[in-house]
Amino acid sequence: MKILVCISNVPDTTSKINFTADNKEFDKNGVQFVINPWDEYALTRAIELKEAKGGTVTVLNVGEADAEPNIRKALAIGADDAIRVNAKPVDAFFVAQQIAAIAKENNYDMILMGKESIDYNGSQVHGMVGEILGIPSVVPAFKLDMVDDSTARLEREIEGGKEVVEVKLPFVASAQQPMSEPRIPNMRGIMTARTKPLAVKEPVGAEAKAEYVNFSKPEKKGGVKMIDPENAGELITLLRNEAKVL
């Protein structure tokens, strides 16, 4: 079984976020990047399936050279090889086109990724990949098991309960908690990751469908106003005229 796991290189949630002077791009200076946490659930489950059933796990990143340390981390966790499409991930459609192109070349049985990236929270790529390839897309799943060599069973949340789906290979799925328990690479994994294959591919000629015009930070929270408990009228006035919640 050949499994492709797509990973994103995202800012650590503890990083201080800034934008360029024109507010059109994210400023990477001083920012620590990590593997997208949702993608780690997909990666760990893929490795667990490989250990139980045999096969290979390939990690794929659409990104620039600065993503390679986290690609190597994915190899240290247990993936067998990696591919980096040498392109800035400009929008979801562009990324989906790159993933689909790699998938067509290598005929993977399963394409896994996180339910979304924690930087843009778009939740779009998995559905686009399934549509481009003409294969089922099950999103988001919190459990994934193999029924037999050609069928998988997934569970996903729906309003008021859960849905159990059986799907034939190949398919696309996105992962969320508690599909697996993310692993920390051990020393042996870190050492072997240095020699595992990491191929760099040039992007296919897909065009982005969206353009980010402007970024802005949330407005700073105002100070707390203390209202005398006997002065309900002032409270109502403030809620109506300043907070605008009435």
Residue 31 is part of a domain; what is its CATH number? 3.40.50.620
Q: Identify whether the C-beta of residue 156 lies closer than 8 Å to the C-beta of residue 78.
A: no
Does residue 47 have a pLDDT over 90? Answer: yes
Number of structural domains found in the chain: 1
Give residue 77's identity as a one-letter amino acid code: I
Which range of residues forms the domain containing residue 192?
Answer: 2-216
What value does the mean pLDDT take over residues 53-78?
A: 96
Give pLDDT, residue 229.
Answer: 85
**Which region among 30-34, 154-158, 237-241 has the lowest average model confidence (pLDDT)?**
237-241
User: Taking each helix axis from N to C terminus, what angle separates 37-53 and 68-77, rounded to the nearest 10 degrees?
Assistant: 40
Task: Answer yes or no: is 241 within a domain.
Answer: no
Q: Is the dihedral of CA 65, 70, 75, 81 positive or negative?
A: negative
Mean pLDDT for the stretch of residues 206-224: 81
At position 99, the amino acid (one-letter code) is I
72 within domain boundaries = yes
Q: Domain for residue 183, yes or no?
A: yes
